Chains A and B, each alone.
Chain A
Amino acid sequence: MKRFMIFLLLFQAVVFGCTTGKDTVKEETPQVPPDEFLLPEKYNVRFIGYDDWIDLPENDRRCYYRVFIDKADEGRTTTGLESQEKYFETNLEPNRHLIMVEKWVLDESEGKYYKLNNIDQPRPNFVYFDLPGDRVVIITMVTGKDLEATFSIDLARK
């Protein structure tokens, strides 16, 4: 019994170990059996970004995020309104990775997208995450009215 309790405590310590990043990052412990996780096919990392505070069309600009992984330009999300989910997918090696984003917004009068000034970028605009093997990591960035961004990291489930 005593050994069992010690093992349980150790197990909990491993599972509920130190967290990384700022307080805005929420990392959930998978409480489901391993065969419930989605196995990687075309991608093993998916980034989703959107704003959650927009309620008027005039505030909802067409945009996308340019995605940098490990400080390398890996491409961009899909385009869409700020209030819409915009996706980016890629395949990475299992490791710890850094994802940074830049928000680009459409200037309709010019007919082209331009990068927002640094002071108008979401804060923070980056998060570190661990990519285990045989898992699909979903990183969601939700930006509020004050440009404060909240990152959540999940493993994709079936």
Chain B
Amino acid sequence: MSQRMIKIPSAPAILALLIFQSLFVNCVCSVKKDSEVEPNNVFSAANPLNVGNPMVGFIDSREDRDFYILSVEEPCISDISVSGIKGVNHSLSLWRGGVSPALLKTADDNRKSSPERLKNLYLESGEYYIAVQHGDRDQKNENRETPYTLTCETRVPVAEEFEPNDSLLAANRIQLNTETSGFFSPAYNRLNLEKENLYREEDWFGFSVARETDDPVILTVDVSGVPGVNSELYLLNSGGEVIASSDNGSSGMPEAINNAGIAQDGDYFIMLTGKGYGSNNDEPYVLRLATGAYDRSNEFEVNDSFDRANVIHENSIRGRIDSPNDRDCLLYTPVQGGYHRIEVMPAGLVDLRAVVHDSTGNMLTELNYAGAGEPEIFADYYIGAPIYLTVFSPEALQGVDMAYSCAITPLSSSSAFEKENNNSKENATPLPQGEMLGYISYKGDRDFYIMESPRKMMKELVITGVKGGEIKVSVTDPLGYTLKSVLVRGDSRETIREMIEGRGFIVVDPVKENYDHPYRLQAGGAK
């Protein structure tokens, strides 16, 4: 048997092998970086930029501008970024190619030494120019030692925004009952030169409403929270008029427009923006647009004025206060004139208020006696004609359930009712022989009644108090000065006998309010 000799390679051979392997691995594993070729200061001298291939370049003078040309074969979503350059404030711009390139988007959000990025730019087939140049935020400095790296990545779009969508005319079309993602990016839209919202970056989306019946379409629009961004959400009609808006949350919190009622077919728009030029290139938002069935028992926006008031059907309606500025106008028409119980009940710890106006807009009364989480009640309000009830909460709080329900219920009783507002002598309710029902209608409510007789005579007044409450009942002289008072606890019964000199007043003051149960006054001649 012969032994095979294993020949060990020489040291130089081994070294050459190692070097070759290193080069091979390096070439295979690392991305090939292109380098800019100056001069590329104009469109016509733009360097080709390949998707996925980083481009290395320099801002090597104060006037330097580096143009790159990108060829797109298939429509795609792009993500273009340029790394920071030490001591240099630079900007990143995208131009649509052609004989006369058009500036589509610019990012100059950050100060010197910081990167810039353009997210979610929609590129159709064709050529685009990308420019890396000095920004406006700092003094122009050159840096011939530290390069920047320009990168362009693309992908197939899936249910997302297409930048630029910075105006109503450029709005992305979306469908009802869909989700769309996007980015609050860049922080500044340098092409927005509107005085009121200078440089504000806006994302616009448009959709169409075509109702199947005469009922309004109920929309809910919400956007998820994004870290570092305090977002605002707007719903607008085709004329750019804001129908509803939401700006309730703080940074990172979601926003929502609930129960927006669309009563007319046509195009509508959603606009998103970040307050204070907030942005986030990494975390997307999710915008949801959903429709709901019209429910007559629910209020729908926009109902912040009398001409847009929601009708209260069958004596009750539910609603939500979406913000401190939200006003829900509700229209109630009584079947017949009479006394009604008005109740506005919050679901959570929100402090509601309600104001009653007549059909001409005159304020009749306000309900603002209860605290947070407690119902506002007007136990016996006379309604003889249509009224508007406006519900709102100036102290609407983030994270608090803002739902409420409102009920206006006709009262029925064989007894006579006090007639609010009878909180002074001048408005005293006449107290006839027989029984009169009255309520502590609100906190501190005073009820005045007037007793009259052609001559002075003794009168007997039997008082049945308020169940669960306490009242003080006083008899006065003709001028309204108290002659005698009696405290009536709960629904106990007390009797006052007093002389009435032609006329006198009965005054009922609450000591402990209870708005659910009436008190009773039974007036008669004394025996």
Residues of A within 8 A of B (CB): 62, 64, 75-76, 78-79, 106, 108, 111-113
Contact = CB atoms under 8 A, between A and B. Distances in A.
A46 to B, nearest CB: 13
Interface in B471-492: 474, 477-483, 485
B478 A79 contact: yes
Interface size class of B (residues with CB under 8 A): 10 to 19
A79 B501 contact: yes
Contact of B481 (A62, A75, A76, A78): A62
B33 interface: no
Nearest to A78: B501
A76 B482 CA distance: 14
A113 B480 contact: no
**The 5 residue pairs across chains A and B that have the minimum distance between CB atoms:** A112-B482, A79-B477, A78-B501, A106-B481, A75-B499
A76 B499 contact: yes
Contacts of A106: 481
Nearest to B478: A79
Contact of B482 (A64, A78, A113): A113
A81 to B, nearest CB: 12
A112 B480 CA distance: 9
Contacts of A62: 479, 481
B483 A113 contact: yes
A111 B499 contact: no
B456 interface: yes
Contacts, number: 31
A111 B482 contact: yes
Contact of A111 (B456, B481, B497): B481
A64 B499 CA distance: 12
Query: Per DSSP, are chain B's interface residues mostly helix, strand or loop, or mixed?
Result: strand
A75 B456 contact: no
A112 B482 CA distance: 4
B194 to A, nearest CB: 62
A142 to B, nearest CB: 22
Contacts of A112: 474, 481-483, 485
Given A64-B483, A78-B501, A79-B501, 7 more contacts: A62-B481, A64-B477, A75-B458, A76-B499, A78-B456, A79-B481, A113-B477
15 contacts: A62-B481, A64-B477, A75-B458, A75-B499, A76-B483, A78-B456, A79-B481, A108-B481, A111-B480, A111-B481, A111-B482, A112-B474, A112-B482, A112-B483, A113-B483
A108 B482 CA distance: 10
A110 B449 CA distance: 20
Nearest to A90: B458
A77 to B, nearest CB: 9
Nearest to A88: B499
Contacts of B501: 78-79
A106 B477 CA distance: 10
Given A75-B458, A78-B456, A113 B499 contact: no
Contacts of B474: 112
Nearest to B482: A112
A56 B339 CA distance: 50
Nearest to A62: B481
Contacts of A75: 458, 497, 499
A108 B497 CA distance: 23
Contacts of B499: 75-76, 78
Given A75-B499, A78-B501, A79-B501, A113 B481 contact: yes
B501 to A, nearest CB: 5
A12 B477 CA distance: 48
A64 B485 CA distance: 16
A78 B456 CA distance: 9
A12 to B, nearest CB: 42
Nearest to B485: A112
A75 B475 CA distance: 13
A106 to B, nearest CB: 5
A67 to B, nearest CB: 10
B396 to A, nearest CB: 40
Contacts of B497: 75
Nearest to A106: B481
A76 B504 CA distance: 14
A111 B456 CA distance: 22
